[in-house]
A and B are shown apart, each in its own frame.
With several copies, the nearest count.
Chain A
Amino acid sequence: MSLLQVNLPGLHLKNPIMPASGCFGFGREYSQFYDLSKLGAVIMKVATGSERFGNPTPRVAETASGMLNAIGLQNPGVEKIIENEVTFLSQYDTSIIANVAGSTIEEYEYVARTFNNTKAVHALELNISCPNVKEGGIQFGTDPKMAAKVTEIVKKASNLPVYVKLSPNVTDIVAMAKAVESAGADGLSMINTLTGMQINLASKRPIIANKTGGLSGAAIKPIAIRMIYEVKQHVHIPIIGMGGISSAEDVLEFLLAGASAVAVGTANFSNPLICSDIIDELPTTLERYGFDAVEDAIGKAVMNE
């Protein structure tokens, strides 16, 4: 099945499919359903400097063809993740990507440096959709300068390749992509969730305790595709695409738009076997649309211009 292989900075993937951060925990639960060695990579749940409890519940709500979540970065902290979770995942023949977050640049730096000391992690995914507490809570991911800054610092703190995960809640996604590329990002990961809200008619309050939540799932796919397509025309680093993927056809659509690999998030909740199923179906789907290999499909819609 060499036709599924993709090579990205620091990642030699047997196939382009990985579960998205936050939607797969650290793999334990889904390892009951299939052998995680089947996966191209696993993107772990977010890691912060120390343990976080996260937001009050309810933390999720369902929307038309999607869902909202406001988990709030709950995680046991980078040290425990390395100790317990990376160790667990290392038994599988798959790449491990650590999702890195923080409330300050220093926290990002700390987490990145800590991961750097473990051989088992292959790449970092920089989650910049976090409020910067030192800058009045503006998200790192909505300001090109702050995004560039945190990318630069993390790059210095770590030898691992860094994929910066872009937030779609911006006017100009290309400007964000260019800013982090210039700051040294090895790749991009896009898109994170769109900020949304649902109101409970009976209680007259937002359903999610945090009020707003991140919108994910099939509903946002057209936005993800548009953003990847736009960014692909302007940057040279590879893109890990995500946002509403739930089938091998969806994967191909992301590849054509410019993604070199993809992550599957919300769809794990409807079907815990989704990544495995997609890996099984992908060869046939590629062939049906005339592709000999994943690498041939990457960015084809953009090159067609």
Chain B
Amino acid sequence: MISKQRMKIVSTNQIAKDTIEMVLKNSYISENAIPGQFIHILVEGHTLRRPISIADVDKDNETVTILFKKLGSGTEKLSESKAGDFLNVLGPSGNGFETSTEGLHTVLLIGGGIGVPPMYYLGKSLAKQNIHVISVLGFQSKDHVFYEEKFQQFSKTYVVTNDGSYGDKGFVTSVIPNVGEFDRYYSCGPLPMLKAITNELSEKEGFISLEERMGCGVGACFACVVPTNTEKGYKKICSDGPVFAAREVIL
């Protein structure tokens, strides 16, 4: 269940261009978080909290890792926090990835830019359950690449950059035909990427994680709705999502 928590910053590092990795300590969230969920972070001087995906969890050390890009004033300010500081967060928030593995053999993870982080904890968890994992990670350019080796530890990993400065040049969609067979895909990244993927892989079972500007982050304000094929006609990204079956949402 979602709860208001204080998380102590254990460490904070810039691991790629404008990209910060923070390790946060909190027993409640590390205990309860599942892949695909996020934490909703209060940043001083800001009215709205910032949603950031849970990129990894270490239950033994009671830590949660997040990775975020300095984009605007909120993430910029957040990046100035130091080890020892506390973050005011709500979490674990939202519904995570479907991880029932019955009959599952191979999965494909497709992460674009700042959509890569939630793929990491997911892939790691699936690999632990002996699922064969393939990862396709897309970044803007060489400077933005992160976590390649970490993904390689549990998966065959393809990296593409938009400008070709590292790995293959192009978009994640250009690599997908080459990765071989898989039963299910999971994806998180910018909307145009998700649209292309869900179109291209419309025959496959897929789960995607969506982004939207949020108000409450708990399901109360209706800021983050996405139209769906369900009877109600919509779902809330913050509480019903951010993860959805690819077929259920209308992008």
Contact = CB atoms under 8 A, between A and B. Distances in A.
A and B touch in the complex (CB under 8 A): yes
B60 to A, nearest CB: 28
Q: Is the interface of A mostly helix, strand, loop or mixed?
A: loop
A10 interface: no
A62 B48 CA distance: 7
Nearest to A72: B222
A59 to B, nearest CB: 5
B221 A217 contact: no
Nearest to A71: B222
Contact of B225 (A57, A67, A271, A273): A57
A266 interface: yes
B17 interface: no
A62 B47 contact: yes
Contacts of A60: 48, 213-215, 221, 223
Interface string A95-109: 000000000000000
A290 to B, nearest CB: 18
B32 to A, nearest CB: 13
B47 A270 contact: yes
B49 interface: yes
Interface string A238-268: 0000000000000000000000000000101
Interface string B207-232: 00000111111111111111100000
A217 B45 CA distance: 12
Of A24, A58, A62, A269, which is in contact with the most chain B CB atoms at under 10 Å from its CB?
A269
A22 B221 CA distance: 6
A53 interface: yes
A62 B42 CA distance: 13
Interface in A24-74: 24-25, 28-30, 32-33, 45, 53-54, 57-63, 65-67, 69, 71, 74
Given A58-B212, A62-B48, A67-B48, A269 B217 contact: yes
A74 B47 contact: no
Contacts of A13: none
Contacts of A273: 4
A30 B223 contact: no
Given A53-B233, A74-B225, A29 B47 contact: no
Given A24-B220, A29-B220, 6 more contacts: A23-B220, A28-B220, A33-B3, A58-B223, A62-B48, A67-B48
11 contacts: A25-B222, A32-B1, A45-B222, A53-B225, A53-B234, A58-B213, A60-B48, A62-B46, A71-B223, A269-B217, A271-B42
Interface of B: 1-4, 42, 46-49, 74, 90, 212-227, 233-234, 239
A-B pairs, top 5 by smallest CB distance, nearest first, are: A25-B220, A29-B218, A29-B220, A60-B223, A58-B213
